[in-house]
Amino acid sequence: MKKRKRTAWSRRIERNILACYYRASVDDRAEGLYWYETAHNDAKTLSERHDVTLEQAVGVIAALSPGRQWGLNLLDEDQLIAAYVAGKRLPGVGSYGRRNIVKARKILDGESPMDVLPVTGPKTRAFYTLILDPTDATTVCVDRHAKAVAVNRLGSDIDGSNVVHVSEYEFYAWHYRAIAERLGLLSHQMQATTWVCWRRLHGNLNQLDLIPF
């Protein structure tokens, strides 16, 4: 069933995001504030290792990222680009089969990542944007965990309650963006900090370690 677009500010979502942010420990905040900057540096290291552009390295990371833990995401990218540069068959990496490997190949072949990454996947495009430029002040990567923080409830794959529909993506992003601006943070710093805190509070459950990523 198609989700109806919501436009009114939600005080409940505001309270939930702020509650999670204020429960963040010193370590949570340190990790969250610099999460995308650290990811940018990781991507830069991989681009230099394989002699590809930073845009290509970040694009491959984003293409292979859905449903993947961050450390595995980096290993996937490293293996795939190494095989591509060597002229070998691309390995079966990632969580969703060949479709994302095809996207990665297109990026390495020279297509613009923003042309390859689907418009219907705004979180993947946001992930690419933020790792490429961690100084971006307004882009928000709204994954299932950002939604869980906003509604203060763990979602489920079974009933689809963890899915961030395209129609509601900007609704959640708007809240993270406005709250971050109020507190003098970049939008992604608010999202990443609450994600790190949420993961800790819920015992580092495997599904909470997944990135949009």
Q: Which domain holds residue 91?
A: 11-211
Q: Does some domain include residue 23?
A: yes
Residues 35-72 pLDDT 10s: 999 999 999 999 999 999 999 999 999 999 988 889 99
Q: Does some domain include residue 74?
A: yes
Report the C-alpha gap between 26 and 94 in whole angstroms: 32
pLDDT of the residue at 120: 83
Q: Does some domain include residue 191?
A: yes
Reported confidence tier of residue 95, pLDDT bands at 50, 70, 90: confident
Entry pTM: 0.89
Q: Does some domain include residue 2?
A: no
Cβ within 8 Å of residue 73, ≥6 positions away = 61, 64, 65, 211, 213
pLDDT of the residue at 204: 55
Reported confidence tier of residue 160, pLDDT bands at 50, 70, 90: low
Report the C-alpha gap between 130 and 92 in whole angstroms: 26
Q: Quick one: which of 96, 89, 103 has its CA closest to 61?
A: 103
What does pLDDT average to over the chain? 90
Pairing of strands 210-211, 68-69: antiparallel
Q: Does some domain include residue 33?
A: yes
Q: Does some domain include residue 3?
A: no
pLDDT of the residue at 157: 56
For residue 207, pLDDT over 90 is answered with no
Residues 99-156 pLDDT 10s: 999 999 999 999 999 999 988 889 999 999 999 999 999 999 999 899 999 999 886 6
Total number of domains constituting the chain: 1
Q: Does some domain include residue 5?
A: no
Q: Does some domain include residue 201?
A: yes
